[in-house]
Amino acid sequence: MGTIFTLFMVLIMIASILLIIMVMAQNPKGGGLSGTFGGTSSAQFGVQRTNDFMEKATWTLGAIIVLLILLSVVLTAKPSTAFKQTAPARQEAPAPQTAPGTNNSVTMPIPAPATAPADK
């Protein structure tokens, strides 16, 4: 595999791990990491901003992963031909070339001797 493919795979793994951490830190009922910083009420100062940041970071990391996957497919794909031959074409030996009007015994058959009809 190429170096660019390895680079894309490492970046995708890092973004995936960060996305897992962001999702695990959120709590759908208002707790999680945002509840740790400001209590359970989202009306307190700073908690709503933490929720917004976590949600935006989650969507951004998801978009980054999709973008990296698409870029890795486009940039590392090997072009293929539509009509790929599986077996090589059969090659025939070229016909021997002789000059016209020559009687070469290699390329021209030897005529059979003519026999005269027997008179009885």
- Residue keyed to tokens 């307190």: 44
User: Worst-scoring range by mean pLDDT, 10-14, 17-21, 114-118?
Assistant: 114-118
**69 vs 88, higher pLDDT:** 69
pLDDT at 88: 64
> What are the tens digits of pLDDT across the range 39-70?
555 455 555 667 788 889 999 999 999 999 99
pLDDT at 48: 64
pTM for the model: 0.51
> What are the tens digits of pLDDT across the range 69-84?
999 999 888 776 665 5
Binning pLDDT at 50, 70 and 90, where does residue 105 land? Answer: low
Binning pLDDT at 50, 70 and 90, where does residue 18 land? Answer: very high
pLDDT at 13: 96
For residues 32 and 44, give the distance between their C-alpha atoms in angstroms, rounded to a whole number.
15
Are 94 and 107 spatial neighbours (Cβ–Cβ below 8 Å)? no
Residue type, 69: I
For residues 45 and 38, give the distance between their C-alpha atoms in angstroms, rounded to a whole number.
7
